[in-house]
Structure formats: C-alpha cells, structure tokens
Structure 1
Amino acid sequence: MKKTNLFIIGGLLSIGIVLMAADHLDAPSVAGGTADITDVYAFEGANPDNTVFVANVQGLLTPGATAQFDENVLVEINIDNTGDQVEDLVLQAIPRDDVMYFFGPYAPGTTGLNSTIDDKTEYLGQVAISTGANATTATANGISYFAGLRKDPFFFAFSEFNQVIAGTSTAPAGGFNDPGTDDFLGTNVLSIVVEVPNTLLGGTFDHPAGTGVQVFNTWVEAKRKQ
C-alpha cells in the first residue's frame, strides 16, 4: 500500500443501486472549497450489466471561469456489499498535471476516515481532464472514465426553499411555485464519472425495507492530503 495521509472532509451516504442526491455548499468546513461534494449519482448504464457512478464537486461555477480539480483532494467512491455501512470496495480518483488517475475497485487496506492508495491494484485507469464542451473519455479493463467541467444537472428552487423554511413564501399554500425557478441554471460543476461492470462491484444484499430487491450501499468522500 502507498500511504497518502488523507482524511475525510466531506461525504454523502445513500442506499441502493439507483440513487441521486445533492448537497450544494451545505457543509461549513468545505463550503465553496475544492473538496465540496455537490452531487452523487449511481445508475444503470446503457449496458444494463454496468453501473455508472458520478461524483460532482465545486458547485456553482460560472461558465467561462477557471476551474480545476485540487491535486491535494482524493475523491473516493465507497461500496458496501454487506449492509454494515463499512466499505468493502473503493474506487479512487486523484488529479495530477491535467490528468485524472483512477484506482480500483479494490478492497481497501484501511476503512473509515483515513485512506491509502494501492497503486499496484489490478484496475488502473486515467483520462485527460476535459475543460470545454467536448468530453474526453477513456476505457481500461472494461471500465470507462471521465473527469471535467460539466453543466450542473441538479434542479433546485433554492431561493424559494429558503422562503419556505423562513415562513415567508408567497407561493400557494406557502409552498413552491409551479413551475419553480432553477437557481442552479447556468452554473457548472466538476464531474468525475466512472462506468464499471457489475462483475467488479462485489456482492449485494436484500434491501432493508424487505422489497426483495438486491442492493449495495454506495457513498462518496473527499479526502485532503495532509
């Protein structure tokens, strides 16, 4: 194992194979910083035998503004195959000199707040970081990779939400207008996208709600080098 002295500074947990969630500028310790996780998505790929993971960071970027991944921040996608909320596999991404390097999925040597990078893992990949509208992708060992600037896909009437919370909404029944106003319209994020064959993602377990659906847990962490 290659020691990298990283610790968690942001994360988001969700259950299941198909999910999406968002958190823009909510965590005080990372708000507006290069490790701020805005969105996490996981969904079935165009090939149903694959799962696509998307981790977005650095939200509310203005189109045309200079934006780049932080070389001191590791983005780690965690996979729990047993339902105990402890990662069994990790997919790691870290940038160097305009290239995003990927490691895994593999079983981590350490779990929880601290991480190491196994640069000898069987599954290694890299892709040039995309800075414009055209997307550069790469594939290795059946895993596809992308990293770069993208339009923020999340729709949220943030200003109306604040009015609802404050009790000052003028919308019908004190709720949201229909249609609402997307306050994220015209903003960008930095996206890391990995499409992985399901055969590399380990096992699954019964959905906790007793639906009979097989799932795994997945969440994303941003960890800063110290």
Structure 2
Amino acid sequence: MKKTNLFLIAAFLLGTAAFIAADHLDAPTVGGTTADITDFFAFEGADSNNTVFVANVQSTLAPTGEDPDFDENVLVEINIDNNGDLVEDLVIQAIPRNGKMYFFGPYAPGSTGLNSTIDANTTLQGEVMISGNGNATVETMNGLSYFAGLREDPFFFDFGTFNAVIGGDADASGPNGGFKTEDKAVDTFDGTNVLSIVVEVPNALLGGTFAHPAGTGVQVFNTWVEAKRKQ
C-alpha cells in the first residue's frame, strides 16, 4: 500500500444541495499558492443521480500567459461526513504529477483529522491531463468524471469597497452601510482565473445521509475541502 503523509493547511465546511463557500486573499501563509483554497461548491449534476464537487485554489491568476502549475506537494482532499459528527467517513483525494491530476476515492480513509494518507490500492481511481490556456480536458473512469485546470473565477466581490467599509473609510450612513448597490459594485475578480479541481460522483458511491439538523425533513451529508502539504 503506497501512502503519503500530509499536513492540513486550510479547509471549508458546508452541507450539500447547491451550496458554496468562498474565501479569497486572506490566508497570507498560503496566498498565491495552490494550497490557498478560494471556493468550494457541491451541487446536483446534470444527471440528478450524481453530485458534482468543485474545489478552486489560487485566485487572481492572469487569463493569458504561461499555464500555472499545481503544486505536487499539495493534496486537495474532499471530505464527506455521512452521520453528522463532522468527522470524515469518505474522502476524495486529488494530487498532481507531471501534468496530470490523479484522483483516489471516494473511500474510507485510514486516518481522520489533520494528517492524511493516499491509498494507491483503492479501486476507485482516475486521472486527467491538467488543462491550461486554450484547452479543457474531461475524463470519465469508473463512472466518475474528472477535470483539473484553469477556469474563470466565478466569485463576485467588490474587494475595494469591502476594505473601505472595514477600514472605516466608506460612507456608512446609507442603507447599505457603506457598501455599493449591485449596479455600482466593482467585481475585483472579473477577468481573473483560478485553478479548479472537479469531480462528478454517482450518489451511490457517497455513503449514507442524515436528517437536516434544522428539521427540514431533507436528508443531507456534510462536505468540506482541505489542502494538505506533504511533510
């Protein structure tokens, strides 16, 4: 069994059913690297029997120029909690090597928490060429579909106005507390790219669900993403 030890750097947590978490430019120890998670999405696929997971890393990449590289020492791990205890029951792992992104899982991890290993013997494996400027490659293996590469940043945020509000430099007397209306806001991330890791998984491979804690009657699982650097 081939294993690699890794250390947790950053994480996002969310429930399922078309949810998104976003985080840009506020992690100075990993900023500008592919350990810097910017967004995490989980939503129903075009086939309602599938769930799509999207982990984006490294914001504000130029749309032109040389193709950026994923860090081969950084593992991106999507965690799935099937019983609501906030401990991962299944993981989907992605790690780059020589221009390809390799995927493992979903499978039950050998350990949970801050440290992870890759079980290279799991039967659920896939790989895809990393897409750069001008190309987009998708591979389907074992019923799962994979993509990794450059994509336009989907996050809309007026970073300048946000900093002005936080710094006390904005006019906070208006109805928006200093924030601009939608028609006047400036999307700081417009025209920039992120590095995306995408995997579409049949729901039958994602384990069980539990009743939504808010009592909505909807069955859910928890999911979050981590970036872990090799020790």
TM-score scaled to structure 2, two decimals? 0.94
Equivalent of 1:200, from 205, 212, 215?
A: 205
Aligned partners of 2:8 and 2:228 also within 8 Å: yes
Aligned partners of 1:17 and 1:216 also within 8 Å: no
Aligned partner of 1:19 in structure 2 is 19
1:65 to partner: Cα distance? 3.7
Are 2:117 and 1:116 aligned?
Answer: yes
Are 2:96 and 1:95 aligned?
Answer: yes
Equivalent runs, 1:27-176 vs 2, <5 Å: 27-66=27-66, 67-170=68-171, 172-173=174-175, 174-176=177-179
Aligned partners of 1:2 and 1:117 also within 8 Å: yes
Of stretches 172-181 and 152-161 in structure 1, the one that deviates more from structure 2 is 172-181
1:210 to partner: Cα distance? 1.0
How far apart are the structure 1 equivalents of 2:52 and 2:16? 13
Identity %: 70
1:21 to partner: Cα distance? 1.1
1:96 to partner: Cα distance? 0.5
How far apart are the structure 2 equivalents of 1:143 and 1:182? 34
Number of matched pairs: 226
Aligned partner of 2:4 in structure 1 is 4
Aligned partners of 2:63 and 2:133 also within 8 Å: no
How far apart are the structure 1 equivalents of 2:148 and 2:41? 14
Aligned partners of 1:9 and 1:29 also within 8 Å: no
How far apart are the structure 2 equivalents of 1:65 and 1:4? 33
1:30 to partner: Cα distance? 1.2
Unaligned runs of 5+ in 1: none
Could you list the per-position Cα deviations for residues 127-175 of structure 1 after superposition, in whole angstroms to 9, with x for gaps in the alignment? 0000123310000111000000011011111111111222322473333
Are 2:217 and 1:212 aligned?
Answer: yes
TM-score scaled to structure 1, two decimals? 0.96
1:99 to partner: Cα distance? 0.5
Could you list the per-position Cα deviations for residues 187-216 of structure 1 after superposition, in whole angstroms to 9, with x for gaps in the alignment? 100000000000000010011111111110
How far apart are the structure 2 equivalents of 1:197 and 1:16? 14
Aligned partners of 1:148 and 1:191 also within 8 Å: yes
Aligned partners of 2:64 and 2:133 also within 8 Å: no
Aligned partners of 2:104 and 2:122 also within 8 Å: yes
Aligned partners of 2:16 and 2:43 also within 8 Å: no
1:31 to partner: Cα distance? 1.8
How far apart are the structure 1 equivalents of 2:201 and 2:187? 31
One-letter amino acid of the structure 2 residue matched with residue 169 of structure 1: A
| 2:214 match: secondary structure | coil
Aligned partners of 1:44 and 1:50 also within 8 Å: yes
Report the RMSD for the aligned CA atoms in angstroms.
1.2
